[in-house]
Amino acid sequence: MNQEALEARGTVTAGSADALAERAATLMAASVPLAAGLRAAAAEADSRRLARALRSLAAEVEQGRPLAGSLERMGLPAHLAALLRAGEQGGDLGPVLAEWLENRRAAHEQWCSAVAALVYPALSLVLMVGVFLLFSLFVVPTFRELVESLGMRLPLGTQAIFWFTSAAASVVAAVCGVGVVAAVALRLVAGRAAWSWLISHLPVLGPIWHWSSVAEMLRGLGLLLEQQMPLPQALRVVGDGLSDGFVGAQCRRLATRVEQGTSLTMALVALRTLPLSIVPLVHWGERERALPEALRSAAELLEGRLKLRSDWMAQVIPPIVFVGVGSMALALVGLIAGTLLTLIRGLV
């Protein structure tokens, strides 16, 4: 079915599912008549597709149909549909949906705050590499040819700088090219899970991406278990709803092991792909029959670690980058000054 047909039916697409669910949760939390609130939200919607979906949902509610069933018929993603059914069965649809969306928003904000702390140092680093390549490819060769044409003998330090700029420029260009090609190929061929795995193994930022995704998974899993959803099903629902494809795949692997009779604790230990620091809390939760509370505590543990890592990056990485930029600038100035002094001495 094409996009025009989807819009005409008010069908929920992947891009509008969270926005639609967020508006429904807000209206239910405010005790506003749902149908009227949905129509008011449609009048203020940012896109025609979302407005059509809101009006279609309002019509379904006015006909007395359950919200979860209406959204599912409109093509809501499977993980959100399962969440709505669980909340409706438990009688807490509004709070359940609001907490789910808040968990997603919190994980996204944690990742964005960590990235924001590195934007300025990263731009400085990119600028440093760009200036280095510019000098290595256009300025240094000119100086070298000039000196060699005059038959002058260069100091060892100047010769070392000439050699380093020539070799390093080729290495940097090759590494950047291979890295970009490999990343694109990995994303296109291996899929979303492999791409998320690659991000989670990057230095500095990788652990933050991984921990934020696992914390989101733990909070979502605890929420679903509170709604009496079976653990294997809850693991699959949470895995399908994560933006991190690698952690989502691990959730589905955990679900398979739990269905085979393994406890969640032993499944985590066997996989060893999620932080093992959460295992003692999960084990306590299973032993005390308080798994939802234990999962939330594990999420708080990882979120505390995230905050410490973000603060560390904001304090340590910028000075390191600035020292690198300054060192490169001094080296280039020294190269130019040393070459000019050599030329002057040779002419005199």
Please state, in angstroms and rounded to a whole number, the distance separating the CA atoms of residues 271 and 254: 8
Q: What is the pLDDT of residue 122?
A: 76
Q: What is the pLDDT of residue 256?
A: 94
Q: What is the pLDDT of residue 6?
A: 36
Question: Rg (Cα) of the chain, in Å, rounded?
Answer: 28
**Average of per-residue pLDDT across 97-123:** 76
Average model confidence (pLDDT) for the chain?
77
**Average of per-residue pLDDT across 102-123:** 76
Q: What is the pLDDT of residue 136?
A: 74
**Average of per-residue pLDDT across 132-142:** 74
pLDDT in tens, 25-42: 676 666 667 777 777 777
| Percentage with pLDDT > 70 across the chain | 72
Q: What is the pLDDT of residue 3?
A: 39
Report for 89-93, 133-137, 290-294: range of highest mean pLDDT? 290-294
Domain boundaries, the chain: 3-76, 102-348
Q: Which has the minimum average pLDDT: 97-106, 127-136, 184-193?
A: 184-193
pLDDT band at 5 (very low <50, low <70, confident <90, very high): very low
Please state, in angstroms and rounded to a whole number, the distance separating the CA atoms of residues 186 and 197: 10
Q: 0.85 exceeded by the pTM?
A: no
- Quick one: which of 75, 203, 74, 94 has its CA closest to 84? 94
pLDDT in tens, 168-222: 767 777 777 777 777 677 667 667 777 788 788 888 778 888 888 899 899 989 9
Q: What is the pLDDT of residue 40?
A: 78
For domain 102-348, the question of CATH label 1.20.81.30 is answered with yes
Name 128's Cβ contacts closer than 8 Å, sequence gap at least 6. 321, 324, 325, 328
pLDDT band at 2 (very low <50, low <70, confident <90, very high): very low
Please state, in angstroms and rounded to a whole number, the distance separating the CA atoms of residues 298 and 62: 42
Q: What is the pLDDT of residue 8?
A: 38
**Average of per-residue pLDDT across 64-70:** 71
DSSP 82-149: HHHHHHHHHT-HHHHHHHHHHHHHHHHHHHHHHHHHHHHHHHHHHHHHHHHHHIIIIIHHHHHHHHHH
Q: What is the pLDDT of residue 314?
A: 76
Is residue 342 pLDDT above 70, yes or no? no
Q: What is the pLDDT of residue 231?
A: 93
pLDDT in tens, 249-297: 999 999 999 999 999 999 999 988 899 999 999 999 999 999 999 999 9
Q: Which has the minimum average pLDDT: 21-25, 213-217, 243-247?
A: 21-25
- Quick one: which of 80, 5, 3, 44 has its CA closest to 55? 44
